[in-house]
Amino acid sequence: MRPLLVLVPAGGAGERFGGTTPKQFLEIAGRPVLYWTLARLLSLAPERVIVALPPDRELPPAVWGLDATRIRQVAGGATRQASVAACLAAAADREPAGLVAVHDGARPATARADLLAVLAAAERTGAAVLGRRLADTVKRLEAGRIVGTLDRTTLFRAETPQVFRHELLAAAFARAAAEGWEGTDEAALVERLGGVEIAAVEATRPNPKLTLPRDLPEVARLLAEEAA
pLDDT at site 15: 61
pLDDT at site 21: 79
Q: Where are the domains of the chain?
A: 4-227
Q: Which of 6, 13, 168 is nearest to 84 (CA)?
A: 6
pLDDT at site 14: 58
Q: Could you tell me if 160 and 75 are in contact, meaning their C-beta atoms sit under 8 angstroms apart?
A: no
- Residue range 25-69, pLDDT digits in tens: 999 989 999 999 999 999 999 999 999 999 889 999 889 999 999
pLDDT at site 139: 97
pLDDT at site 20: 72
- Alpha-carbon distance of 50 to 87, in angstroms, equals 6
pLDDT at site 228: 59
pLDDT beneath 50, residues of the chain: none
pLDDT at site 38: 97
pLDDT at site 82: 96
* 4-227, CATH topology level: Spore Coat Polysaccharide Biosynthesis Protein SpsA; Chain A (3.90.550)
Looking at residue 44, what DSSP letter applies? Answer: T
pLDDT at site 93: 76
* Sheet strands (E) in 67-176: 71-75, 99-102, 127-133, 139-142, 145-149, 156-165
- Alpha-carbon distance of 33 to 37, in angstroms, equals 7
pLDDT at site 88: 95
- Amino acid type, 146: I
- Alpha-carbon distance of 166 to 170, in angstroms, equals 6
H and E: helices and strands count for the chain: 6, 11
